[in-house]
């Protein structure tokens, strides 16, 4: 595995591989890698000749500076894991390398209003930062295929919108959520949970499962209220939202019959760690991005 810090060096290497007819798969991450990330690199390796992984804790997408400071950084273990998994290039740039002019120069982009739903109501500016960094990374890595996780449902939805809207020549591929044995969605932030909170955290997943099970027995509003009440009853849980939305527009829905692609999404503070998760409740349209 070749580790590259300079954007120009990566672009040069990728251009020469592409000139030789090699296809390139790209997996952007913020590091502290786990099996969720590795499942993306495996999909990328299956579908491409060359796999590029980036590790960049992007300051512009952190609306909470404390979260940025506490974000786990485990470069040594990450490099080991990536080389064991046959990754060709690790791109590990500095902030200056990604934002040479000024990291704060605003990327003022509207994702068709979808950025204002779900996470957008709680993390102002977050998706602008995500769009900014993904656009920049795609310019540097010029991949054929981009791999993202369903774990961040709104994120991949917005990136899909941006790719189509700006005509960025890349195919987005979305891989399923990888979970711990007890159902907790793998996340770099899980290591920050206390032992007690870690034990309770799978309630997020069981609540999603129950919602799916009862989708025809209750109204959308009732299901959302039941989930929020459940979270509120758990010690150390502070729910921000539990929302059932249309999987394409991310807008709240009233009735499941009127939509063929439906997702339930949540954000809950578990102790001082903010966790998100989601589950597709209905997919009659076989949404084509999903692997």
Catalytic choice (37, 126, 205, 259):
37
Fill in the per-residue mask, 123 to 162: x = in contact with ligand AMP (CB under 6 A), - = not in contact: -------------------------xx-xx----------
Of 28-36, 65-73, 78-86, 165-173, the window that binds ligand AMP (rule: CB under 6 A) is: 28-36
Backbone angles phi, psi at 68, to 5 degrees: -60, -45
* Of positions 4, 7, 14, 40, contacts ligand AMP by CB under 6 A: 40
Burial classification of residue 124, based on how many CB atoms lie within 10 Å of its CB (0-12 exposed, 13-18 middle, 19 or more buried)? exposed
Q: Is 205 a known active-site residue? A: no
Residues 6+ apart with CB under 8 A from 199: none
- Considering only the stretches 30-38, 67-75, 94-102, 228-236, report the one whose residues sit in contact with ligand AMP under the rule CB under 6 A: 30-38
Taking the C-alpha atoms of residue 26 and residue 131, their distance in angstroms, rounded to an integer, is 16
Q: Which stretch binds ligand AMP (CB under 6 A): 8-16, 46-54, 173-181, 231-239?
A: 173-181
Contact indicator for 156, 148 with CB cutoff of 8 Å: yes
DSSP bridge partners of 189: none
Kindly tell me which of 189 and 212 has the beta carbon lying closer to ligand AMP: 189
Interacting residues with ligand AMP between 176 and 235 (CB under 6 A): 177-178, 185-188
Which of 265, 61, 252 is CA-nearest to residue 154?
A: 265
Q: Tell me how far apart the alpha carbons of residues 42 and 86 are, in angstroms, rounded to a whole number.
A: 9
Residue ranges binding ligand AMP (CB under 6 A):
29-30, 36-37, 39-40, 148-149, 151-152, 175, 177-178, 185-188
- Which residues does the annotation mark as catalytic? 37
């Amino acid at each position: 595995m070749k580790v590259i810090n300079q954007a120009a060096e990566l672009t040069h290497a990728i251009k020469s591989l592409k000139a030789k007819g090699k296809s390139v798969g790209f997996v952007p991450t913020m590091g502290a890698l786990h099996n969720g990330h590795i499942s993306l690199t495996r999909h990328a390796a299956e579908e491409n000749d060359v796999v590029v992984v980036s590790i960049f804790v992007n300051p512009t997408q952190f609306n909470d500076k404390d979260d940025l400071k506490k974000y786990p950084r485990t470069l040594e273990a990450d490099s080991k894991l990536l080389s064991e998994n046959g990754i060709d290039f690790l791109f590990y740039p500095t902030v200056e390398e990604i934002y040479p002019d000024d990291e704060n120069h605003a990327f003022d982009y509207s994702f068709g209003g979808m950025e204002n739903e779900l996470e957008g109501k709680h993390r102002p500016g977050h998706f602008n930062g995500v769009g900014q960094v993904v656009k920049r990374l795609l310019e540097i890595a010029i991949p054929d295929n981009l791999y993202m996780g369903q774990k961040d449902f709104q994120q991949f939805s917005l990136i899909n919108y941006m790719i189509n809207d700006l005509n960025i020549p890349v195919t987005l591929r979305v891989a399923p959520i990888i979970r711990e044995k007890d159902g907790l969605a793998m996340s770099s932030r899980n290591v920050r949970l206390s032992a007690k909170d870690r034990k309770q955290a799978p309630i997020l997943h069981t609540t999603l499962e129950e919602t799916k099970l009862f989708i025809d027995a209750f109204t959308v509003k009732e299901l959302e209220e039941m989930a929020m009440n459940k979270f509120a009853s758990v010690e150390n849980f502070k729910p921000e939202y539990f929302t059932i939305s249309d999987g394409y527009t991310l807008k709240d829905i009233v009735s499941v019959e009127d939509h063929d692609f439906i997702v339930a999404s949540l954000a809950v503070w578990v102790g001082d760690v903010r966790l998100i998760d989601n589950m597709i409740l209905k997919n009659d349209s076989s949404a084509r991005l999903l692997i």
